[in-house]
Amino acid sequence: AMGYVQTPLAKSGAKLFADVRGTKIPVDIHPLPFTPHRYRKG
């Protein structure tokens, strides 16, 4: 899943939690892109 985080908190490796239906779940911050591209500039 993907969500929005305020800029001061959006550092890679920051410890954050998401509230999902009353349960706090740990989340990870990852820079974009999530997967490497599969095309080559020609």
Beta bridge partners of 24: 19
Q: Looking at residue 3, what is its pLDDT?
A: 79
Answer with the residue of higher pLDDT: 40 or 26.
Answer: 26
pLDDT of residue 7 exceeding 80, the answer is yes
pLDDT of residue 1 exceeding 80, the answer is no
Q: Looking at residue 6, what is its pLDDT?
A: 85
3 state SS of 40: coil
- The C-alpha atoms of residue 20 and residue 24 are separated, in whole angstroms, by 6
Determine if the pTM surpasses 0.75: no
Rounded to an integer, the average pLDDT of 8-23 is: 86
3 state SS of 34: coil
- Per-chain mean pLDDT for the chain: 81
